[in-house]
Amino acid sequence: MKITNSSDKNTYVPVLEGELYIETYRSSMPSKAVFNVIKDNIIDFSEGSAVEIYADNVPVFFGYVFIKKRDKNGIISVTAYDQLRYLKNKATYNFNGYTVSGIIKQIAADYKINCGNIEESGFVISNMTSDEKTLFDIIQSSIDTTYLSTGRLYVLYDDFGKLSLKRAENMGVDYIVKDDTAENFSYTSSIDSNTYNQIRLTLKGKKGIVQEYFKKNEESVSRWGVLQYTGSIEEGEDGNTKALSILNTHSKAQRSLSISGAFGDLNVRAGSVIYVRTDKTGDIAIDEAMTVESCRHRFKNGVHTMDLSLRGGLINS
């Protein structure tokens, strides 16, 4: 690891204490590195200092110090974020005739964010207006619009100091998680949140409800009771199609899967597609490719492990 002070540009190689971890997320959050530095008479750094982390001489994280905490023993706890942290800034944009790639490049130029490999999506978004939204939300909206229109999903991430965009299907990693290659897993199946089997949408006018749209999954209601979603639609929206879409998406149990203590692999990050195989979840068996929603790389005493949150197939939460 190297830390370059933001004020005098001096570079230091700190002595670390305890565990270091690097966490990445598939969407709308910057990657972060968290570690403890032993304070001595030499090292000197402040907020905004650049942090470079390598593992086996492979560059794995480039970011900036945002948080410092210090205790009476001289241990400085540091949290550093990569440059996606600056996408939390809010702005107003009106993009007309831009692709998601063009939108990212324009925002990066406006906010002096370094760009690397930005894959060209090819799909032109006719008009997208965003009023005082975070740059994350603006970019994610363009990614979502592209996905709904083309079926192509893109992942935005920082590649050691370079903003990058890659098609999800091109982020496959030759990595398999099995029951004997991880310490543990946590599997949850729930109908307590985001599960609905009865949808009621209303179109409202100045004098109250103008029209109501209602969809229901009778079989689900007989098993779970009524779990109703109530919402509204705007003038011109297709109420029947929207209600049916919500019902088809949400009239099922919400399942989540996370893995802890898997063998570490530097090629795996949020957005990567890996293979997962387990038959110990109880009600379902998993034997398929899954997308990594979040990934925490842990380094301690020369041991590298990963904690993974996954999505795909029946794992929908």
Tell me: the pLDDT tens digits for 208-234?
A: 668 899 999 999 999 999 999 999 888
Same domain for 279 and 293? yes
Q: Which 3 state secondary structure label does DSSP give 48?
A: coil
Same domain for 159 and 126? yes
pLDDT in tens, 35-70: 999 999 999 999 999 999 999 889 999 999 999 999
Q: Cα torsion for 122, 111, 90, 64, to the nearest 10°?
A: 110
Same domain for 182 and 295? yes
Same domain for 237 and 283? no
- In-domain check, residue 127: yes
Q: Which 3 state secondary structure label does DSSP give 82?
A: coil
Tokens of 141: 């909206």
Give the whole-angstrom CA distance, residue 42 versus residue 112: 32
Q: Got the DSSP string for 36-91? A: EEE--SS----TT-EEEEEETTEEEEEEEEEEEEE-TTSEEEEEEE-GGGGGGSEE
Model pTM score? 0.87
Q: What value does the mean pLDDT take over residues 115-140? A: 93
Give the whole-angstrom CA distance, residue 274 versus residue 288: 8
Query: What are the residues whose beta carbons fall under 8 Å from the beta carbon of 42, sequence distance 6 or more?
Result: 12
Residue where one domain finishes, among candidates 55, 81, 107: 81
Give the whole-angstrom CA distance, residue 259 versus residue 25: 15
Tokens of 262: 């898997």
Same domain for 103 and 17? no
Same domain for 97 and 164? yes
Give the whole-angstrom CA distance, residue 306 versus residue 260: 6
- In-domain check, residue 102: yes
Domain hosting 25: range is 2-81
- In-domain check, residue 317: no
Residue 236's pLDDT is 78
- In-domain check, residue 70: yes
Same domain for 207 and 116? no
- In-domain check, residue 316: no
Same domain for 210 and 178? no
- In-domain check, residue 9: yes
Mean of all residue pLDDT scores within the chain = 93
pLDDT in tens, 256-269: 999 999 999 999 99
Residue 228 amino acid letter: Q
- The count of domains in the chain is 4
pLDDT in tens, 291-313: 999 999 999 999 999 999 999 98
Residue 206's pLDDT is 67
Same domain for 65 and 94? no
